[in-house]
Structure formats: C-alpha cells, structure tokens
Amino acid sequence: MLFNSIEFVIFFPIVTLVYFVLQHKHRWWWLLASSCVFYMAFRPEYLLILGFTIVVDYYAGLLIEKSEGKQRKWYLIMSLVANIGVLAFFKYTNFAIFALAQADIAHYKLLDFVLPIGLSFHTFQAMSYTIEVYRGKQKAERHFGLYALYVMFYPQLVAGPIERPQNVLPQFYEVKVFDYKRVVSGLQLIGWGLFKKVVIADRLAIFVNQVYDSPTQHEGIPIIIATIFFSFQIYCDFSGYSDIALGTAEVMGFKLMKNFDRPYFSKTISEFWRRWHISLSTWFRDYLYIPLGGNRVNVYRRYFNVFFVFAMSGLWHGANWNFIIWGALHGLYLIGAILTQKPRDYINKVTGITKIPFLFKTIQASITFALVSFAWIFFRGNYLEMSQCWHLVTHLFSNLPSMTELFKFDYVSQNVFLNQTLVEFCIAVILIIFMETVHYIQRDKSIRQIIATKPLVLRWAIYFVFIMLFFILGVFDTPAQFIYFQF
C-alpha cells in the first residue's frame, strides 16, 4: 500500500483510531493484522516469504540465547543463511546467471519472478535481531506475535528505517496513550513527507525522465540539469517516505530512528554517509565494516574494507552492475579523501581559505554535492545499458553553449527546461530552494517546534497555505511508487 494513495488515507486513521480504542494487551495483534493487510496490498503471496524468515529467526533467537559455545554460532549462521538465501534467490539469481553467461544471452530473464517489495529492508532488520541476540545485546523475544510485529511494523516495513531490536521491541510493551501534541507533531511530519514526495520529487521526476528515457539523445546542459534534479528527487522521495513512516509511528506513540539529517549540507563524503540513509550506513558499519577490522587494521586493509563495504552497499541496492559502480565510486571517494588529506590541508593553509569559514564550507559542500550527484547517474541509470550510462558520463560537459546561445529562448526551452515551460522549471527550482531553506532553519531547532510556539491563528494560516500549495503544485496523475520500494 502506497503512503501517497487513497487507500492509505483510509487505512491510516482507521488503524490509528482502533489502536487507541483497544486495550493495551490487544493492540499488538491489531497492529500485526494491519501490517499484514498493508503488505498484502502489494501482492498477497509476499506474506509467505516474510512469514518464513520470521519463523526461522524467532526460533533461532531462542536457540542462540539458551545455547553455548560453537552451537550458538551455528544457530546464528543458520539464521543468516536463511535470510541471505531468500534475499539472494529472489534478488540475485538472474544477476548471477547473467554474470556467468555469455553477453548475447544476458538480456533474457531466465527466472521470471517479482522481487518482493522491501525484501532488502526487512531482511536486514531481521538479521540485526539474531546478531544482537548472539552478541548478548538483546534478549530473545519470547512473544512470537511481538517479534513478528518487530519485523512487520507497517510504517517502516517496505523502505525502512532499518531498526534495531533494542529500539523497537521494548516500545511494544509500553502503554501508549493518546497525546494531542504528539499526534499533531506526527501529522506535521507526515504532511512534510507527503509534500516532499508528491510536490517536489514527483515534479522533478518529470524533468529527470526526459533525459533518462532517451539518454543518448542528450548531452551537456540537459544531462547536468537532470543530474542535479535527480539528486533532489531521490532525496525528497526517500526522505519523504521516511518522514511519513516516522510521523505515522509517532502518532501512535512509537519513536523510530532518524534516517536523514540534511545530507546535502555535508562538507565531506564521510559526513554525507553520516547524514544519508543513516539506518543502512550504520548497519553496514556495525555488522560488516567493524567485523572486517574497520580502522584497526593496516592502511591497505582499511582501504579494502572501505571499498568492499561500499561495493556491497551498491549490491544491496540492486542486482545490477550500475549499482555496484555507484557504491564503488563512494568507496573510491572515501579512499581518495584519506590519501589526499595532507595535500588538501597544505592547500587550505597556503590559500588561507579556512579564514573565511562560510566560503570554505560552501566550497566543501558544493564539491561534495557534485561528487554525490555524479555517482547518482549510475544509480538512476540502473535499468540502462552500460553504454547508455557511459554516454551520460562522457557527455556531461559536451557541447556546452556559448553565452549567446545560453540566452536564446529556443535553446533554453529545449535544453534547460527539458521541454517543459519556464513556469514549470521555475517552480521546480523554487521548491528546491524552499526545501533547503527549511533544512537550513532546522540546523538548530525543528521547524515543528518553531511553528508550535506561534499563535493559533498564525499556525493555522501556515497549515492552510501549506495544504493549498500541496493541492495546487502536487503531481496527482497516478500515485507514483517510492523509488526505494524496488529494494
């Protein structure tokens, strides 16, 4: 069920109202049943796959906790093999066959099945449970229904955040009461998430699709515009989903982890990954990077660890060489940052640029944004042939216009506006500026906290303007699926 659909507009208030009406002891089964309905709205058979891993991990947790020595490790391995096996079968079987097959048959699907929605997300969440039980940081959950709810909790079921058991499971035991301020805060977050998705992301998609639907027909300015717009599209799309998930949970009294923290204000690639998809980056850090040795190994092994983790992050996103290249690029960025640290420090010292903090930070953020945006080309081109992605990369700065051409309306309307009108292009740019302005304001305090301090009349005036902009500028042709549902 899509958050931006009429079905969810009906589903959410009914589930929430019944949740608060029911006694605490009955709420778990209502949320579990509602989560099943939510997930089955995509395809009912998906539930069988999810049910299999839930049963395996529930009993694995119990067996790990009561076992000792090597037996504990074997139970953990059994759980991990089951989870990774399901993920690998549905997500990577065709890719593995293609990788081993000859190029002339690599375009044919040998096994025709649909990847279950959000499989990568709830697989990683389930794996974190058994790993934490094995490490002794989480007690095995005895209540099968509550464990199933931990995996299936509908707000974050299909696109995260990827929660740890220590954060979510204890909350299911807490008695949640209706709190007006908390409900308003949650609804505000839902509204902001929908605005980012329906108004900004789906509007930017119109421009981006112009280039990526026919990549070899474009070069220069159109590719640059589409690349920049996609950077904001994917952010608004994915962080919009996360905002709705967090807001939906908050209305009922649950606190999920923050998944985004103004990532395009990052001054380095490492900072970007501390701000972007936080639940996934910390998952790879805790369960892959640190077990590989992290920073505690020699410098060459550290480079390998960084590169390997980011390549795996790309593979997690999809069974496609383009995703792997995207992840590998970020790995190379980080390795490059380590290797060039001293030369960069010397240049900064010689130029004295650090004495002008605002300019220095702006340059850093701009370079980081440019590197991230360049890598997004491969991410967005996941369905394209490698030759098409290569065309986009190699023609990024091709055939750039002269100053005279740049101010010709015909050139601008066909290339800069990507066959859209001046008004539509300006709206898209203004929306990006508006969103980043809100993010800048929120560097110290949440905009929701700021609005809460305003008089009642002003608060409702803000809500009214916001709702009007939502319906006037929103793209409502058909509910657009969230980008990260494919993972």
Active centre residues (catalytic) = 317
Task: Give the closest residue to 230 by CA, choosing from 449, 47, 379.
Answer: 379
Give yes or no for a contact between 233 and 201, defined as CB atoms under 8 angstroms apart.
yes
CA angle 92, 94, 99 (to 5 degrees): 90
- Is 167:259 a contact under the CB 8 Å cutoff? no
Q: Rounded to whole angstroms, how far apart are CA atoms 370 and 364?
A: 10
If you count DSSP H runs as helices and E runs as strands, how many of each does the chain have, helices first? 22, 0
C-beta of residue 170 within 8 angstroms of C-beta of residue 142: no
The 10 Å CB-count burial string (b at 16+, else e) for 470-484 is eeebbbeeebbebbb
Q: Which residues fall within 8 angstroms of residue 444, CB to CB, at 6 or more apart?
A: none
Task: Map tokens 């209502």 to a residue.
Answer: 30
Residue with tokens 């010689």: 350
Q: Is 307 helix (H, G, I), strand (E, B) or coil?
A: helix
Residue ranges of alpha helices (H) inside 381-411 are 386-394, 403-406, 409-411
* Own/partner pairs, 476-480, CB within 8 angstroms, 24+ separation: 476/198, 479/2, 479/4, 479/5, 479/6, 480/4, 480/197, 480/198, 480/201, 480/202, 480/205
**Counting every residue, how long is the chain?**
487
Cis-peptide, bond into residue 161, ω within 30° of zero: yes
Find the helix packing angle between 299-317 and 119-135, rounded to 10°.
Answer: 140
What whole-number distance in Å separates Cα of residue 147 and Cα of residue 324? 33
| CB of 279 closer than 8 Å to CB of 160 | yes
Task: At 151, list the tokens.
Answer: 């995996």
For the record, the structure tokens of 128 come out as 């974190």
At residue 244's C-alpha, the angle toward residues 88 and 24, to 5°, is 90
Cα 436 to the chain's mean position, in Å? 18
Q: Which residues 6+ apart lie within 8 Å of 92 measured at CB?
A: 315, 319
Q: Is 402 exposed, middle or buried (0-12, 13-18, 19+ CB in 10 A)?
A: exposed
**Four-residue CA torsion sign, 219, 224, 226, 231:** positive
Instruction: Tell me how crowded residue 72 is: count the other CB atoms within 10 A of its CB.
Output: 17
